[in-house]
Amino acid sequence: MWPHNNIKTVFILMPLVFAFAVALDLYIPAVPELIRIFHSSPAQIQLTLSGFMFAFGLGQLVVGPYSDQFGRRSIALLSAIGYCLSSLLCATSTSLSALIVFRILEALSSCGMLVAANAVVRDVYSGDQSARMYSYLNGAIAVSPMFAPLLGGYIDVYFGWRACFVTLAFLGLAATAIVLVFLHESHHRDNRIKVNKHVFRRYYNILKTPSFLCYTTFSTFGIICLFTFFSSSPYILINDLGISRQHFGLYFGVMGLLFFIGSLIAGKTVIKIGLNTNILMGTLLIVCGGLLMLCWYLVFGLSTAGFIWPMVPISLGAAFLTGAGAAGAMEPFGEMAGAAAALYGCLEFLISGIVGNIVLQFPTDTSIPLALTVSMCGVTGIMLFALMPHGTR
C-alpha cells in the first residue's frame, strides 16, 4: 500500500519531473551568447536543445522496460546520480560538440527520472485520479519556467554560462537525497516484467491501442506549442526586441505561471467534466492563441505584446492537453506502466524536438513560424477529437 497522501506524493515526485524542465530552461537566456562564444549559428546551438529532446524521448524506450523489471525507485536513484554527474560535465565543456554530447547524457538521466515518476503515478492511481495527479505534476514542471530563466539570466551575466550547469548538478544532488529518504517502491515484485527480446512487441501492443495513440497525440500538441515558444523566444525577445538577459526570465516566467495555473485548474476540472472535455477546451484555447498571434503580427508587426499576450491561451490550453493526455494514454496499462510511460514520453518529446528544430530553420525575427505551428496543432487536434473512435471517447 502506498504510504503517502496526494500532496506528499506530488512533493516527492516533483524533483524527478522538475529536473528535465530546469535543464531546458535555466540556460536559455545564455543561448544567444553561446552563438558568439562557440562561433556557431542558431541552428547549431539549437542542437543543445533539440538534441536534448531527441535523447530524452528515445532514452525512455530503454529506461521504461527496465523500470518494469527493477522497479521505479532503483531507476529514479541511478538517474538522479547520472543527472548530477552529467551536469558537471556540461559545465566543463570546451567545445560545442562536447556540450551537445554531455547534454545528451543529461537528457538520458532526466528521462529516467521522469519515466519513474510517471510510472509511480500509474502504479498508485487510476482514472480521473491519475489525471489529477498528472496535472499537478505538470504544475510542478511549470514552476521551472516561472523562475529558472530569470535565475539563469542573472547566473549567466554574473557568473557565466558554466555556472548554470553547476546549479543543475546541485539539483541532481537534492533529487538523489529525496529518492533515498522518501521514495518508496510502488511496483510490487510479483508484477515485474523482465526485459527480453519481446520488449519491442510490448511497445507494438501499446501502439495498437487506439486510446494511447489519440491521447498521446493531444499531449504532444501541447508540448509542441510550449517547446517551439521556448526555442524561439530567446532570439525574438533578446535579439530582436532588445530584452536584457536578466529581464528575459520575467517574460518567460509569465508562461510558466500560466501553465502552472492551467495545470491546477485542469486538476480540478477533470474530476467534474472528464478527460475529453478538458482536451476539447485545450485544443480550442491553442487555436485561439495561435490565430491571435498570427493576426497581431500581420497587423502590427513584431512586438513584445504581440508575442506574449497570445501565449496566455496557448499556455493554458497546453496545460489542459498534457495532463488529460497523459492520463488517457496511460489508463489501459497496469503492469506495463513503465513501458507505456516510456513510449508515451518518447513520442511526445521526440516529435516536439523535431518540430522545434524545423521551426528554428526559419527566420528568427518573426513570430509567424510559431503562430502557424500552434494554429496547426490546434486545428489538427479539433479534427482528431471529432474523429476519435467511439470506444475511445
Q: Is residue 191 assigned to a domain? A: no
User: How many Å apart are CA 168 and CA 99, to the nearest integer?
Assistant: 14
Q: Is residue 95 assigned to a domain? A: yes
Provide the CATH number for the domain around residue 36. Answer: 1.20.1250.20
Which residues, 6 or more positions from 5, have their beta carbon under 8 angstroms from its beta carbon? none
pLDDT value at 146 more than 80: no
> How far is CA 340 from its chain centroid?
17
- Taking only the tens place, the pLDDT of each residue in 342-366 is 788 889 888 988 888 888 788 888 9
User: How many Å apart are CA 83 and CA 93, to the nearest integer?
Assistant: 16
User: How many Å apart are CA 254 and CA 309, to the nearest integer?
Assistant: 10
- Cβ atoms 225, 325 nearer than 8 A: no
Which residues, 6 or more positions from 363, have their beta carbon under 8 angstroms from its beta carbon? 369
- Cβ atoms 388, 209 nearer than 8 A: no
**pLDDT at 161 (0 to 100):** 92
The candidate with the shortest Cα–Cα distance to 218, out of 278, 139, 143, is: 278
**pLDDT at 35 (0 to 100):** 86
The one-character DSSP state at 29 is G
Q: Is residue 392 assigned to a domain? A: no
Q: Is residue 305 assigned to a domain? A: yes
Percentages of the chain per state (helix, strand, coil), in multiples of 5: 85, 0, 15
User: How many Å apart are CA 374 and CA 142, to the nearest integer?
Assistant: 19
| Interior angle at CA 100, CA 167 and CA 98, nearest 5 | 90
pLDDT value at 390 more than 60: no
**pLDDT at 334 (0 to 100):** 65
Total domains in the chain come to 1
- Identify the burial level of 317 via C-beta atoms within 10 angstroms of its C-beta, where 0-12 means exposed, 13-18 middle and 19 or more buried: buried
Q: Is residue 339 assigned to a domain? A: yes
Q: Is residue 309 assigned to a domain? A: yes
pLDDT value at 25 more than 80: yes
CB-side neighbour CA atoms (13 Å) of 173: 9
Q: What is the pTM of this model?
A: 0.77
* Mean pLDDT rounded to a whole number for the chain: 87
Q: Is residue 69 assigned to a domain? A: yes
Instruction: State the residue range of the domain holding 342.
Output: 6-186+196-387
Q: Which of 90-99, 161-170, 308-317, 357-366 has the lowest mean pLDDT?
A: 357-366
pLDDT value at 140 more than 80: no
Q: Is residue 40 assigned to a domain? A: yes
